[in-house]
Structures are given as structure tokens and as C-alpha cells.
Amino acid sequence: MARFGNTRGGYVRMADGYEMPLFGLGTYKITTQKDMDRAVDAALKNGYRLFDTAFAYSNEELLGNSLQRLLPEHNLTQADVFVTTKVPILSGDNKKDRTYEVVCESLKKLQLGAIDLVLVHYPREWSGSDKNPKNQTDRIEVYQALERCKEEGKVRSIGVSNFEIRHLQELLQVCRYRPAVNQCEFHPFCCRRELLEYCRQQEIFFEAFTSLARQDPKLYKNEVVVRIAENHKMDVPHVLLAFALTQHIGVIPKSSNPDRVAENINVVGKKLTLKDRVADRGIDASFLHPSSEMAGLLDIITESPFNYEAARQYTREIQWPAFWISMIYVVVIFSIKAIMTNFKPFELKPALTFWNAWLAVFSIAGSLVTTPALLSAIYSQGLTGSYCHSGAFFEGASGLWSFVFCISKIAELGDTILIVLRKKPLMFLHWYHHVLTLNYGFLSFMENTAFNTWIIWLNFSVHAIMYSYYLTTSFKIRVPAVIARSITFLQILQFVITHLILFHVGYLYLNGTQCDVTGHTYFLCLGMEISYLVLFGNFFYQSYIKNGGKKFKKEQVTKKSD
């Protein structure tokens, strides 16, 4: 299951496959065990799961002591937290071996089985000159030492800090393991747009330090920042943290004050969305403002490139409204059905044709977009990886269509209205399937469920055929019943495939391999798929096998069951 699937603030899956929480505690200038204990205790209590330190901070041992003592008090283990440290480019010769020794010493001080992330702290020696011709060689040697540590299992992920584009370009030409992270200063006075874009192109996660801009009075008193804070009842630090988080940039605000530690993470979950840049106000920023649900939805759909984390946050925020919509839907359809007993059925031919047409086009487009994405996932991650680990499928066009797929389940409730207004049989299978799929869709999307790659592709592909069939029949074109039977068979086949995937994911978990899915999402999906297989199997039996397959024999067009 996903290591940080339920972490407050969410997490990112780095290019090397490991997960890292988006919100963490910086420990710079925490120099006593008492202060470290207070900060770590407050952080764990309030849902922090990432802790950032460095060799240069001289507090790795303090952090290790705090985690060793406090994790059990919070019913947590080392596996529940993510620790980052940083190593400098040391002066003198033999940098590879000396860096390796520093990492080993950090591992000992932190009292960990392996360090989650180690970064090259700065692209040159602290006291060196940017013009020193040895800087490039030094950077590469230190990074190669980190690669050795990764290969030996002392470190899980490696990366860099304070690296500019030219430094990254040099490194990418020679490294065996691409840097997973570039940690840099980032706030409205220091946006680093070109560097940020380059890191995203190279799949290097951009993490911010100094997000609060060292409490620079020019920024804290800036009229734009102050107005945003006042208008939306936020303090200035929250505005600055939200500035990074909304752009899917990790943050590690530092504090040893327990109250401030607790307050900082309260920015998580605030309803924010990107607004236009306001550089002409003397501040380089894409500022944020609360928005309506629809505005947030449009922002996510139209933003380029697709922001998967923003989409997950959106589904998280409207999960319960979606649930209540599904409950109201049940009440409404049965109320209409009861009312219609006193009325003649409506024909609704134009509405029915339009409904089937848009769903056919939508499903065909979704299948065309997600098919190459799934094939690419299988090619790059292997068959098992394509449903065990989230990857590029949830980015770009296929990521956008995955999100729209989830949202579309609300719109699809409308076809039941057409059924009851036309006084057609309302089967339990029909409305049950709609309600459960809608709620599973929102829950699983917000929790980054890896095997949704297959569920989404299968659903799009089967629906593309099914709604094309319905569209054809709405024009009174006679279609052989074998087609309807084949469509129902395809629906059953998709559930069989999903069962095989779920059983394998469960088997992997029992044997120590974690896939990207939370426990409750896994069991909800398993129960849902079992019920669908039983219900659709029964429908197939009643329609095409029992008593000689009455529907098939009479060449009738099958009534819609999905």
C-alpha cells in the first residue's frame, strides 16, 4: 500500500519511484535536544511526516534522538516518516570517499536503517569561488559518492540543492541515477520560473526552502500579500506556503515553536487556486484566491500541464458533496418512478439520442487517450508495475482524462432520469452500479490508486462500444442480439481482469511488496468488483442463457444495463 497515502498535505512520487511528503519540518538552527524534541513532538502530533536536516546544521544526532524516542509515543515507526539530509562539498582532496564517510556518519547519527533522501547541499565548497574550475569535477565526485550509497542501500533517493540549470545539465550527462529532487529557495520574491520549468521537464521534483522568505518585511508588508491575507482571513505565512503548495512545490518551513509548527501545516486543505501573475506590482508571483467549486474545476481542466496533485485535492474537497449527490440521486429517481405511475411515458427521443451521442464520443476519446498511456506504462514499468505503481499515466493528457472520468460519474447519473421518465424497467444493477462507481471514483482518485490505470482504461473502452451501440439503436437501427450479448460479456470480462489485478496486488502485499493503494480503497474496490461480477453475471444468465436465452433468440435489442 502507498507509504504516505494518508499523509496530511499529500505526497509526491519521485521519478525514482519513492514517495515523499509535500509538507515537512525544517530543522535549521535547532541546536538543542530540548528544542528538537518540542518541534518534532508537535510535528508528529499535527501530521508532519517529513523532517529535513543537514550535515551543516550539526543537529542530525538531535533529530535521530527525537525520532527514536517520540515515534513510539505517537504509535509510529521509522517507516512512517521521511528523513532528508544534505552533504556539503568538502574542501580538500579525495571527495568521493570522504563524502561516503559523511553519509555513513549521518546514517549512524539519524539512527535509521536507510536515509530516505540525501542531497548535495551546494554546487561548490562553502568557502569556494563560483569561478573555480574544479567545481564541476567536485560536484560530480560528491554525487557519485551518493550513487554508491544508493546502490549499497544506505540511501533510498539522492538529489541536489541550490543547483542551477547549468549544474543540472552537467550532472545529467554523467550520472547513473538522475537526481530525484532539487531543493532551492522559493517564494514570491524568488520564483525561479525557468529553473522550476526545467526541473519539471527533467522529472526532478522541486522542493522549496525559505518559503517564508526569512520574514522579509518588504514581502510581509507588500500590499498584494497583505490584501490577500486580509481578504481571505489568512496570515502572511499561510499565503506564502500556499503560494508554493498550490504549484505542487514541496515546503519545509522551519520552527522550534510548537504553536507555529502546528499553525504552519494548517494551510493544508485551504481552498486555493492559481491567479494571474502580478509582476507589475513589484512582486513576481502567481497569487492565490479562494474560488467556487466550478472555478476550481475549470482551473484544473484548463491548466497546462495537467496538475495531478491539484486534481487530487479537488476530489478530496468534493468527495462528501459527491456522496450526498449520489444519495439524493437515489431518492429522486424512485420519487420520479412513483410519480410516473400516474402518467404516460415520455418519448424523449432527441434527449436519448443526445445522451448516447455525448457518452459515446466521450468514451471513445477517453479510450484513445488512455490506451497509449497504459501501453507506455506497461512498457516502462512492466505489467505488474502498470497497476502496482502510479506513474506517467496520471500526468499529461491521460492524467486529465482520468480526472474527467472521475468527475463524469456525476453527469452519468442523468441517464437514470431518462429511464424512469420513459417508464422503462429500473433494475437494481443500474442504480447500484452508478452510486458505487461514483463514490469509488472520487475516493480512489484522491488516494492515488495505481490500479486505476486499468480500471479507467477498461471502463472507457467498454463504454465506447456500449454507448456507440445505444446510439445506433436510438436511431431505430436493428442490431443483432449477439452484439448486445457480446457487450454484456465484455462488461463481465473487465470485472474478471480487475479481479485478477486485485488478487495479485493482495498477493504482493502479503509478500512484502507495497503497491500504491490504501487498505480501505483496496477492499472497497474488491467488494465492488465482486458485487459487479455477481450482478452482471446474473444479468447475462437471465438474458442469454436461462430458458434458452430469450433475448438472443428473439433478436431483441438489449435494454441498457449500465
Q: Which residues are catalytic?
A: 57
Per-residue DSSP letters for 271-302? --EEEEE-GGGT---EEEE---HHHHHHHHHH
How far apart, in Å, do the first and last CA atoms of the chain sit? 30
| Residues present in the chain in total | 562
Distance from C-alpha of 319 to C-alpha of 314, rounded to nearest angstrom: 8
Which position has the grid cell 437501427? Answer: 477
Nearest CA-CA partner of 55 in 89, 86, 96, 83? 86
Helix axes 349-388, 481-510, angle to 10 degrees: 30
Cα dihedral sign, 35-36-40-41: negative
Fill in the DSSP letter of residue 162.
S
Q: Which residues contact 171 (CB under 8 A, 6 or more apart)?
A: 139, 140, 143, 160, 163, 179
- By DSSP bridging, strand 11-13 and strand 19-21 are antiparallel
DSSP-based three-state secondary structure for 118: strand
Cα(276)–Cα(489) distance, rounded to whole angstroms? 50
Q: Which of 183, 92, 179, 171 is nearest to 139 (CA)?
A: 171
CA-to-CA distance for 89 and 171, rounded, in angstroms? 15
C-alpha 102/C-alpha 90 separation (Å) is 10
The C-alpha atoms of residue 229 and residue 60 are separated, in whole angstroms, by 35
Place of cell 512545490: 249
Residues 6+ apart with CB under 8 A from 424: 345, 559
Give the CA angle between residues 18, 23, 27 to the nearest 5°: 100
Yes or no: say if 41 and 70 are a contact pair by the CB < 8 Å rule: yes
**In 340-480, alpha helices (H):** 349-388, 396-411, 414-421, 428-446, 452-474
Residue 49 C-alpha cell reads as 511526516
**What is the amino acid identity at position 392?**
A
Amino acid residing at 412:
E
Going by the DSSP 8-state scheme, the letter that residue 547 receives in this structure is G
Query: Within its chain, how far is the Cα of 48 from the centroid?
Result: 18
